[in-house]
C-alpha cells in the first residue's frame, strides 16, 4: 500500500503557537503519524546516540493513504494553510503574529513510513530521576532512575514535548504515595504511568479517542503496571462523573489539553478533585495563561506553582 507524506514547513515569530495551529489542521483532517519537528539543541551525550540527524527545518508532517480522496484532503490542507496565513497577515499589525507555510508531498511505501516516524523520538531525561524511553531505543538506567517506556503509536508523542515534560515534573513534586490519580485526555498514557511509578494507589484515565484508550492500555501493560490499579475508558469528564454516582474523588487530576478545553471542563475537574487535592494543567500557551488563571480563581482554586518552558505554561493549583 502507498501513502502520501505531507509536510507543512513553516516560519513564524511565534513557533509554539504556529506549531499548535498547523498541527490542528493535520489532526482535524485525520492525518496519521503526525510529527512536529522544531529545531533544538543536541541532547546530552549518551542520549539519542542511535538517532538519525535532526532536520533544521521547522515543520509538521503526517501521512494519508494514497486513495481517490487523498488529493481532496491535500487541497483542503493547502486551503486551510492559506487561510491561516491570511489571518496572521491581518492580525500582524495588532498582535505581531506572522506565519508562512509551504506544503510539500511525496509518495512512500507502507514499510517506509511505518518505521520512519520512530527516528524522531529519543531517550529523554525529564527530571533528575525520570527518564522517558521509546521502546525501540536502548538505555542503561542509573540506580535511582524511574524509566517510563512508551510506544506512542503513530498518533501520540513520547513525552518529550514541553507540556508533557512539565506535567511529569509536577506530578513527581505533588503526588504522594497512595494518592488517587485522574488523567483527563490521557493520550499515550504517559502521565498515568508516571503517577503509577511514583506510587499512586488507584489511577483512572479518560479520553474521547478510542485509539488513545488502546494505546494507553498497551503502554501501561508494557510498564508492568498492575491492571487492578488502573482503569482507562473512552469518555468525556462530564459523562464519566454523571455515570459514576457519587462522583469519584481524586487527589491528583491532570489535564494536558488546550486552554479552551481546560476552561470548559474546569467545573467538572473541581467536582472530581478531593479536598486539598492538586490539579496539574498544561497545553497552555503563554498568551492564554491569563484566562486560565482567571478561570481557576473563579472556581476557587489557589495557585501552587506555575512553570514555563519556551512559550508553554504548566500550572499546579489546589482546592
Binding residues: 164, 185, 207, 256
Q: Which helix (H) or strand (E) holds 181?
A: strand 180-184
Cell of 189: 498514557
Q: Which residues pair with 146 in a beta bridge?
A: 130
Please tell me the distance from the alpha carbon of residue 27 to that of residue 282, in angstroms, as a whole number. Answer: 19
Cell numbers at residue 139, please? 538505555
For residue 12, say if its preceding peptide bond is cis, omega within 30 degrees of 0.
no
C-alpha–C-alpha distance, residues 161 and 187, integer Å: 13
Q: Alpha-carbon distance 108 to 60, whole Å?
A: 17
List the binding residues for S-adenosyl-L-methionine: 164, 185, 207, 256
Count other C-beta atoms under 10 Å from residue 241's C-beta.
18
Grid cell locating 144: 535511582
Q: What is the torsion angle, in degrees rounded to the nearest 10, for the CA atoms of residue 123, residue 129, residue 130 and residue 133?
A: 30
Closest-CA residue to 117 (of 38, 164, 61): 61
Alpha-carbon distance of 284 to 262, in angstroms, equals: 9
Amino acid at each position: 500500500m502507498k501513502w502520501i507524506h505531507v509536510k507543512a514547513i513553516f516560519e513564524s515569530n511565534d513557533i509554539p503557537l504556529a506549531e499548535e495551529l498547523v498541527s490542528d489542521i493535520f489532526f482535524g483532517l485525520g492525518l496519521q503519524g503526525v510529527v512536529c519537528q522544531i529545531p533544538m539543541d543536541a541532547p546530552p551525550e549518551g542520549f539519542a546516540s542511535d538517532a538519525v540527524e535532526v532536520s533544521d527545518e521547522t515543520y509538521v508532517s503526517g501521512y494519508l493513504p494514497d486513495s481517490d480522496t487523498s488529493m481532496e484532503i491535500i487541497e483542503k490542507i493547502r486551503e486551510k494553510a492559506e487561510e491561516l496565513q491570511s489571518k496572521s497577515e491581518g492580525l500582524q499589525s495588532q498582535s505581531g503574529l506572522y506565519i508562512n507555510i509551504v506544503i510539500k508531498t511525496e509518495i512512500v511505501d507502507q514499510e517506509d513510513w511505518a518505521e520512519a516516524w520512530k527516528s524522531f523520538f529519543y531517550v529523554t531525561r525529564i527530571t533528575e530521576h525520570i527518564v522517558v524511553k521509546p521502546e525501540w531505543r536502548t538505555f542503561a538506567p542509573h540506580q535511582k532512575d524511574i524509566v517510563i517506556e512508551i510506544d506512542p503509536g503513530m498518533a501520540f508523542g513520547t513525552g518529550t514535548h514541553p507540556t508533557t515534560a512539565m506535567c511529569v515534573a509536577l506530578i513527581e513534586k505533588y503526588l504522594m504515595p497512595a494518592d488517587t490519580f485522574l488523567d483527563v485526555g490521557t493520550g499515550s498514557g504517559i502521565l498515568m504511568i508516571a503517577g503509577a511509578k511514583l506510587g499512586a494507589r488507584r489511577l483512572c484515565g479518560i479520553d474521547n479517542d478510542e485509539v488513545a484508550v488502546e494505546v494507553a492500555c498497551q503502554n501501561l501493560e508494557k510498564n508492568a503496571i498492575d491492571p487492578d490499579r488502573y482503569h482507562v475508558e473512552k469518555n468525556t469528564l462530564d459523562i464519566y462523573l454523571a455515570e459514576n454516582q457519587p462522583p469519584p474523588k481524586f487527589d491528583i487530576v491532570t489535564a494536558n489539553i488546550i486552554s479552551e478545553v481546560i476552561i470548559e471542563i474546569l467545573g467538572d475537574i473541581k467536582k472530581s478533585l478531593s479536598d486539598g487535592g492538586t490539579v496539574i494543567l498544561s497545553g497552555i500557551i503563554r498568551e492564554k495563561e491569563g484566562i486560565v488563571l482567571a478561570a481557576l480563581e473563579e472556581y476557587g482554586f489557589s495557585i501552587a506553582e506555575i512553570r514555563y518552558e519556551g512559550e508553554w505554561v504548566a500550572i499546579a493549583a489546589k482546592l
